[in-house]
């Protein structure tokens, strides 16, 4: 058994059966092993940003990691941004990077780069397999590292000779550890804090944003001095009319400051203290009112949902009879962020998975879809735009039988539109809605926020025009059927039809 085969066998033994791949020469022995292991599903992608974003989306829905397969340092470079996003989402990823043979590396061949240094910028765990007999054990360690709560990127670098040499040994998978329970005294302390009656905000993130956690949080919110919010960006949130609604920390610094006003105590539940994406001249970098005391109920690697339940019991939080909201009818007329949100709330199918890279156009949709059919909501967590299409691609493979709906800003979509081909190739049930406002609208807002005054040359840098991008052609070029909507009537019709069909579809919604 060569090293590549020991790797494949270890992946399968550890429950990793999906690999997103853009391989090169140094990965050929892995690829050559595919025919002997039909249980391993290898998904081709046209570039590495698709590979890594898909691995993020897959794991969020499958609840277990996928592997990537990247080619040397430069292949890793291309995949880093979506690994950065996955790192911020705390998504488990087994990140496999082929590399030069150990004896070839000192020759500094053209593709040679500092692969370990690159991997360290996004990884919780990095190792280079140094010998064929170690590959299996290294792969088992990588799977365990990726699955260690709350989840992270485990990068395993594989010189080609350790894969082609004979002498591989299958690694022994370790059972993933469950998140640690929160200590009783911590729950008691937070309960005592809340009982003081001062304005307290529970910031709930991570796994605690599942339906159960949200329900418990909404019970706690019935206590007079308690409010509940989620971070701006989250790995996965249970949403729709059957789930308890939750507000998020607003993106814009002024809106966030307003939302946080009056808070005396911030209690973190699998969340980090909120900070703005960027600094702005003369504005604070954190949205917390000065003097806010920060407390921790559950660290990201702890069982926040369980801690919330213990807290609710201790405080005698009421059991709620929720009245499910009613979705509005589909919107008519012109396409705007609001009419799109209204129609999506009306037309989203049961158990859809929404992948939100809507940026400016999409920002209000989260709250407006609270009345939609039950669904999950996945977000870009690291701010590196260009993850939506890949994440939708991976989510489709991680959640078979569910329709994926990508809410997709046009500027962001252009980084990794290559993922459409993988959707076509794999026949994935993904509907991508391109919000075609034909500009980097967020940057126009950011420019104003930093106090700069644009003229024509500056404004030209924010255009996605002259020429317009034609998303019907772009999608068609990748083999994905697409149509343009200029009115809400057209959008409603296209969206409804796409929900009823198999395979990918793209709607260019022109705002």
Identity of the residue, 176 or 274, whose beta carbon is nearer to a copy of itself in the bound complex: 274
Q: Per DSSP, what are the bridge partners of residue 355?
A: 378, 406
> Does residue 474 touch a copy of itself according to CB under 8 A?
yes
Number of residues that bind a copy of itself (CB under 8 A): 102
Stretch (H or E) spanning 141: helix 135-147
Residue in 55, 59, 81, 378 binding a copy of itself, rule: CB under 8 A: 81
CB of 31 to a copy of itself, least distance (A): 5
Identity of the residue, 103 or 401, whose beta carbon is nearer to a copy of itself in the bound complex: 103
> Does residue 476 touch a copy of itself according to CB under 8 A?
yes
Q: Return the sign of the alpha-carbon dihedral for residues 485, 490, 326, 431.
A: negative
Find out whether 266 and 201 touch, Cβ atoms under 8 Å: yes
Q: Return the sign of the alpha-carbon dihedral for residues 14, 17, 23, 25.
A: positive
> Does residue 418 touch a copy of itself according to CB under 8 A?
yes
Backbone φ, ψ for residue 13 (5° rounding)? -65, -30
Burial class (CB in 10 A: 0-12, 13-18, 19+), 166: exposed
**Contact pattern from residue 90 through residue 109 relative to a copy of itself, giving x for each residue in contact according to CB under 8 A and a dash for the rest:** ----------xx-xx--xxx
Identity of the residue, 291 or 456, whose beta carbon is nearer to a copy of itself in the bound complex: 456
**Residue list 379-408, contact with a copy of itself (CB under 8 A):** 381-384, 386
> Does residue 123 touch a copy of itself according to CB under 8 A?
no
β pairing state of 237-239 and 375-379:
antiparallel
CB of 267 to a copy of itself, least distance (A): 19
Give the integer Cα–Cα distance in Å for 164 and 162. Answer: 6
Alpha helices in 180-264 (DSSP H): 184-195, 211-221, 253-260
Identity of the residue, 36 or 188, whose beta carbon is nearer to a copy of itself in the bound complex: 36
Find out whether 207 and 150 touch, Cβ atoms under 8 Å: yes
Residue in 42, 137, 169, 247 binding a copy of itself, rule: CB under 8 A: 42
**Residue list 125-184, contact with a copy of itself (CB under 8 A):** 160-161, 164
Find out whether 24 and 71 touch, Cβ atoms under 8 Å: yes
**Residue list 45-74, contact with a copy of itself (CB under 8 A):** 46-47, 49, 73-74
Residue in 425, 438, 439, 484 binding a copy of itself, rule: CB under 8 A: 425
The CB density around residue 34, as the number of other CB atoms within 10 Å, is 15
What DSSP assignment string belongs to 474-494? HHHHTT--EEEESSHHHHHHH
Give the integer Cα–Cα distance in Å for 418 and 423. Answer: 9
> Does residue 35 touch a copy of itself according to CB under 8 A?
yes
**Residue list 259-318, contact with a copy of itself (CB under 8 A):** 272, 275-279, 281, 285-286
Find out whether 23 and 360 touch, Cβ atoms under 8 Å: no
Stretch that binds a copy of itself, among 21-29, 131-139, 301-309, 324-332 (CB under 8 A): 21-29
**Residue list 353-372, contact with a copy of itself (CB under 8 A):** none
**Contact pattern from residue 216 through residue 235 relative to a copy of itself, giving x for each residue in contact according to CB under 8 A and a dash for the rest:** -----------------x--
> Does residue 457 touch a copy of itself according to CB under 8 A?
yes
> Does residue 501 touch a copy of itself according to CB under 8 A?
no
As a dihedral over the C-alpha atoms of residue 40, residue 41, residue 42, residue 47, rounded to 10 degrees, the angle is: -140
> Does residue 437 touch a copy of itself according to CB under 8 A?
no
> Does residue 1 touch a copy of itself according to CB under 8 A?
no
Identity of the residue, 69 or 140, whose beta carbon is nearer to a copy of itself in the bound complex: 69
Identity of the residue, 194 or 384, whose beta carbon is nearer to a copy of itself in the bound complex: 384
């Amino acid at each position: 058994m060569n090293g590549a085969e020991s790797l494949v066998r270890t992946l399968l033994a550890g429950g990793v059966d999906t690999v997103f791949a853009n391989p090169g020469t140094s990965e050929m022995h892995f690829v050559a092993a595919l025919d002997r292991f039909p249980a391993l599903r290898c998904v081709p992608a046209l570039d590495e940003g698709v590979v890594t974003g898909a691995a993020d989306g897959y794991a969020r829905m499958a609840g277990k990691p996928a592997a990537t397969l990247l080619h040397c340092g430069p292949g890793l470079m291309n995949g880093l941004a979506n690994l950065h996003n996955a790192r911020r989402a705390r998504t488990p990823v087994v990140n496999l990077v082929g590399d030069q043979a150990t004896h070839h590396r000192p020759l500094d061949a053209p593709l040679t780069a500092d692969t370990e240094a690159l991997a360290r910028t996004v990884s919780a765990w990095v190792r280079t397999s140094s010998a064929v007999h170690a590959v299996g054990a290294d792969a088992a360690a990588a799977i365990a590292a990726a699955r260690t709560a709350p989840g992270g990127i485990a990068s395993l670098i594989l010189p080609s000779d350790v894969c082609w040499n004979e002498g591989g040994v299958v690694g022994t998978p370790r059972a993933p550890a469950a998140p640690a329970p929160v200590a009783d005294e911590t729950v008691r302390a937070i309960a005592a804090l809340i009982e003081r009656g001062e304005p307290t905000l529970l910031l709930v993130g991570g796994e605690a944003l599942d339906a159960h956690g949200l329900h418990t949080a909404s019970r706690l919110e019935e206590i007079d001095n308690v409010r509940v919010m989620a971070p701006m960006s989250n790995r996965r949130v249970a949403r729709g009319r059957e789930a308890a609604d939750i507000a998020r920390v607003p993106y814009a610094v002024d809106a966030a400051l307003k939302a946080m006003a009056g808070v005396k105590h911030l209690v973190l539940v699998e969340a980090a203290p909120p900070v703005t994406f960027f600094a702005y001249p003369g504005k604070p970098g954190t949205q917390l009112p000065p003097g806010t005391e920060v407390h921790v109920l559950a660290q990201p690697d702890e069982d926040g949902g369980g801690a919330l339940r213990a807290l609710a019991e201790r405080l005698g939080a009421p059991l709620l009879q929720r009245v499910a909201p009613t979705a509005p009818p589909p919107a008519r007329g012109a396409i705007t962020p609001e009419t799109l949100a209204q129609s999506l709330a009306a037309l989203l199918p049961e158990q859809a998975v929404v992948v939100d890279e809507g940026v400016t156009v999409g920002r209000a949709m989260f709250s407006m879809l609270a009345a939609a059919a039950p669904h999950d909501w996945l977000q870009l967590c690291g701010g590196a735009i260009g993850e939506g299409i890949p994440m939708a691609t991976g989510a489709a493979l991680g959640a078979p039988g569910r329709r994926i709906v990508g809410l997709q800003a046009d500027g962001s979509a252009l980084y990794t539109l290559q993922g459409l081909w993988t959707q076509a190739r794999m026949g994935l049930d993904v509907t991508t809605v391109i919000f075609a406002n034909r500009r980097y609208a967020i940057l126009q807002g950011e420019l104003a926020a930093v106090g700069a005054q644009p003229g024509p040359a500056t404004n030209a840098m924010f255009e996605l025009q002259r020429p317009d991008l034609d998303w019907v052609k772009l999608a068609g070029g990748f083999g994905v059927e697409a149509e343009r909507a200029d009115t809400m009537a057209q959008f409603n019709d296209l969206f409804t039809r796409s929900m009823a069909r198999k395979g990918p579809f793209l709607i260019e919604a022109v705002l």
